[in-house]
Structure 1
């Protein structure tokens, strides 16, 4: 019962911040049609508030390893990570420089968060549409040409910690076409915050930046091979993180 009170306190406090930001930041940005840099900065502020409140009120802490592996040349790259909860959507804002997303368009319907996403003009796809892959390749290429990093969840949606699904090849294909590196990230956020409204328990989320893959040597016929490697690498590390967490409980 006490745990649910903490979660409700988190959402109540977050909602208060969201209302304040909506009145004093989001609405002026919308009506004045301010540029992407301003919109991105507002999204970053909200993400930092979210992560801070989750730590303060719910005991959801985090630890990042491998941050030094992120490319420092300022050139765009594609980030691929497993997807277990809502938490990592906000957390990525803290460690990945100016970026865009490939995400499901129904996220736009979420109160507050969806409005903020819409301001950033991500690549919003409908998975039921057969042309979604083409949309990812064309719009994703444009984001990269604008100098933005791109974050994608190749599982195609949130996945429970005890399940593995086949990774979709569109991310690898886009990276090869655009000739940009791929950053692999694994985490265990779902142990503490699974899909849905309620956190499961307080604890330390582990985020590991695994490696950076150069796509220069790959061609179109290598897409499936590269995707399979990415799937194996991320899932293997995810399983290790989940197992270590459960062992230490």
Structure 2
């Protein structure tokens, strides 16, 4: 039964991405950037999260929404699955995401996604990628957009500690923007390998913002260390919840 639901989910997800991408290629170029972002990325990602919840039973709870500052900054999240790439789009708005450029080659949706101005990097060229993140990320922050970075660089299995590269922290420190650490356990329900899915509730934890003390290398190392440590502590708390975990800090469940 679950296998049939997963097949149906992927059929609907693929069809919606193709149709929505084709429609956006026609009308999005006529819109200002904020409207393009909301229509191309945010609205479709909401559809994807709804399909995930409705068809394969992956729900979510969010702890710490009140930690999100008014000033846009850099979101540093662990990366376990595809689910968080959809979900986090509807938490931090408007948003630019650091992605691998190959995603823009996906027919229709990838072409439309390019109109939302993601920071699309060539992961085989680390030096140029860092320069591109610094330049384009700084421009997006100045324009009032959040920057979503998965500093592990690739999806990591649940249970493994997060190890962050410093690119996202460097971007934040250079622009004196806050860093918001995010931890989740989506990989337990949407694994990084294979097509299988498991019903359940993803826990998303949003940490207190980390404010850089300066743009120097020491500040970058410290901000990155704080974000990585907070995420690992949050992941550990998800795996081993305290006895009084029934009292959530600040959450919204859907």
TM-score by length of 2: 0.86
Contact 2:175 2:215 in 1 (8 A): no
Structure 1 residues 242 and 106: alpha-carbon distance in aligned structure 2, compared to 1, 3 A threshold:
farther
Shift of 1:128: 1.6
Contact 2:97 2:118 in 1 (8 A): yes
Aligned residue for 1:82?
A: 78
The counterpart of 2:199, out of the listed 199, 202, 205, is 202
More displaced stretch, 41-50 vs 234-243: 234-243
Residue in 2 that maps onto 1:47: 45
| Secondary structure at the counterpart of residue 63 of structure 1 | strand
Deviations 1:80-100 (A, max 9, x none): 110011111110111111111
**Which residue of the partner structure matches residue 14 of structure 1?**
13
Q: Measure the CA separation in 2 of the matches of 1:140 and 1:156.
A: 17
Structure 2 residue 141 is the aligned partner of structure 1 residue 148: no
Counterpart position of 1:247: none
Q: The residue matched to 1:96 in structure 2 has which SS? A: coil
- Provide Cα deviations, 1:114-153, integer angstroms capped at 9, x if missing partner: 3343221111111221321111111111111111111111
Shift >4 Å, 4+ stretches: none
Q: What is the aligned partner in structure 2 of residue 190 from structure 1?
A: 187
Q: TM-score, length-normalised on structure 1?
A: 0.88
**Residue in 2 that maps onto 1:124:** 120
The equivalent of 1:238 in structure 2 is 235
| 1:177 has 2:174 as partner | yes
User: How far does residue 241 in structure 1 lie from its aligned partner after superposition?
Assistant: 1.6
CA separation of 1:218 and 1:178: change in aligned 2, threshold 3 A? closer
Shift of 1:39: 1.5
SS of the residue corresponding to residue 100 of structure 1 reads: strand
Give the Cα–Cα distance (whole angstroms) in 2 for the partners of residues 204 and 221 of structure 1.
38
Size of the aligned set, in residue pairs, is: 239
Give, in whole Å, the separation in 1 of the partners of 2:196 and 2:32.
35
C-alpha change, 1:19 and 1:109, in structure 2 (3 Å) is closer
* 2:90 alignment partner in structure 1: 94
Q: Is the 8 A contact 2:170 2:215 kept in 1?
A: no
CA distance in 1, matches of 2:206, 2:162: 20
